[in-house]
Amino acid sequence: MKGFAMKRIGEVGWVEKDAPKCGPLDAICRPIALAPCTSDIHTVYEGALGEREDMILGHEAVGEIVEVGELVNDFKVGDKVLVPAITPDWGALESQRGFAMHSGGMLSGWKFSNFKDGVFGELFHVNEADANLALLPEGMDPATGTMLSDMVPTGFHGAEMAEVTYGEDVLVVGIGPVGLMAVAGSALKGAARILAVGTRPNCIEVAKEYGATDIISYKEGPIEEQVMSLTRGKGVDKVILAGGGLETFKTGVKVIKPGGIISNINYLGSGENIEIPRVEWGVGMGHIKIVGGLMPAGRMRTERLANLIMAGRLDPSKLLTHRFEGMESLDKALDLMHRKPVDLIKPVITIKY
Ligand code: NAD
Ligand code: ZN
């Protein structure tokens, strides 16, 4: 079979591979919709995971099942399924502790285009199908469904880790697709003001549609000064980091109230140490928490997030700015993600058979 792969750091292209094998608990799928991710760019062009040779990329997909293992109960050949980017081993000790995304070791629930071939192939393998897949709801556009692989669960996890609750003021740093979903998640959890940091006009427009009340440009002076001025020197209750570099942690500490939570969902692809400003961190006694996390996955969570879309409370299709047809468009779509033209939020590819 063919797949669109990272050939080595800095180089992508089509490769020929053996079809994946199905274990007793697993499923083999063919893609019906695919989306590239900023993380694919970190992987290929920054070598953030280290060297990989001819590894098929991609972890955002809606698929159709072509084979199931003999111990799979709830899915059958022909089912159309939502495929989470993270596919944990649910029996691992980390999973029993409540952190299935780290099953088998730090970040190890992230298997696609990391420890094994990703979803940008004619076929891809899903471990523990009953626990990891969810049915594509009747009536949901598969292109929209791809946003349930990573963008919705990651952005919403930003709001979850920040423990956003009614009436709080939340700062979201970075409004690419992940940050936009953090804005939408914070709004659904009851935030009052949502201050969003970004510069691209269509991201700003969509951020407002998802609930941002104030827009801050990091290109027009320090973020902390703008936040303090907008909040009359009070700062915010919660901060979600979804873009920028290590310096955003400093910004977060400088604008957060005592007892606040800084929640990072950004993939920190470079740099060494994160600095915490001592004084603003309450000289060590400010009850300010800093937390970061890989998205949680699993069938139940994926079904619940899909329910939000079907109930009309969330519309992630606003992220889909560039649409392609056919797997052969993968190189164009990934190249868009690499160049990030100003009108891009998220490209998506649909595949007909
Ligand atoms: P993106 O590049 O589209 O968005 C990041 C945004 O941050 C951009 O709009 C950019 O303009 C903005 N930005 C850049 N510098 C900034 C600064 N100094 N201050 C404020 N904003 C700044 O990326 P995305 O697709 O939205 O993904 C965001 C991050 O989330 C990426 O690093 C991605 O790899 C990561 N990610 C994490 C998970 C997870 O499970 N935690 C999952 C998917 C993606
Ligand atoms: Zn991703």
The torsion defined by the Cα of 98, 104, 108 and 110, in degrees rounded to 10, comes to -70
The pLDDT, as a whole number, for residue 250 is: 98
The ligand 1 atom at the shortest distance from the C-alpha of residue 265 is 41
User: Which ligand is the nearest neighbour of the Cα of 341?
Assistant: 1
Ligand 2 mean position, distance from CA 85 (Å): 7
Counting ligands in written order, which one lies closest to the CA of residue 119? 2
pLDDT band at 205, cuts 50/70/90?
Answer: very high
Report the distance separating Cα 230 and Cα 216, nearest Å: 9
pLDDT band at 270, cuts 50/70/90? confident
Atom of ligand 1 nearest to the CA of 294: 40
Position 95 scores a pLDDT of 98
What is the rounded CA–CA span in Å between residue 28 and residue 56?
A: 15
Q: Tell me the per-residue pLDDT of 2-60, one tens digit each, with 9 for 90 and over.
A: 999 999 999 999 999 999 999 999 999 999 999 999 999 999 999 888 999 999 999 99
Return the axis-axis angle of helices 151-161 and 177-188, rounded to nearest 10°: 50
Closest-lying ligand 1 atom to the alpha carbon of residue 245: 18
Name the pLDDT band for 124 (thresholds 50, 70, 90).
very high
Ligand nearest the Cα atom of residue 224: 1
* Residues in contact with ligand 1 (CB, 6 Å cut-off): 37-39, 42, 150, 154, 173-179, 197-199, 203, 218, 242-244, 248, 265-267, 294-295
Pairing assessment for the beta strands 289-292 and 320-325 based on DSSP bridges = unpaired
Q: Which ligand is nearest to the CA of 294?
A: 1
Please name the amino acid found at residue 230: L
Give me the pLDDT at residue 58, please: 98
User: Average pLDDT in the 302-315 region?
Assistant: 98
Q: Tell me the domains of the chain and their CATH numbers.
A: 2-150+295-350 (3.90.180.10), 153-292 (3.40.50.720)
- Nearest residue (by CA) to ligand 1, atom 44, is 39
Collect all residues with Cβ–Cβ distance below 8 Å to 243 and sequence separation of at least 6: 173, 174, 175, 176, 178, 179, 197, 198, 266
The tokens for 116 are 């094994």
Q: List pLDDT tens digits, range 75-107.
A: 999 999 999 999 999 999 999 999 999 999 999
Which residues, 6 or more positions from 328, have their beta carbon under 8 angstroms from its beta carbon? none
Task: Please name the residue ranges forming H helices in the chain.
Answer: 38-45, 93-96, 129-132, 142-145, 151-161, 177-188, 201-210, 223-230, 247-255, 299-310, 330-339
Q: What whole-number distance in Å separates Cα of residue 183 and Cα of residue 191?
A: 9
Q: Ligand 1 centre and the CA of 84: distance in Å?
A: 19
- Residue owning the nearest CA to atom 3 of ligand 1: 176
Is the predicted pLDDT of residue 269 greater than 90, yes or no? no
Mean pLDDT across 244-254: 97
Q: What pLDDT sits at residue 216?
A: 98
Looking at the CA of residue 295, tell me the nearest atom of ligand 1.
Answer: 40
User: Which atom of ligand 1 lies at the shortest distance from residue 345's CA?
Assistant: 3
The answer to whether residues 68 and 75 touch, using CB atoms and an 8 Å cutoff, is yes
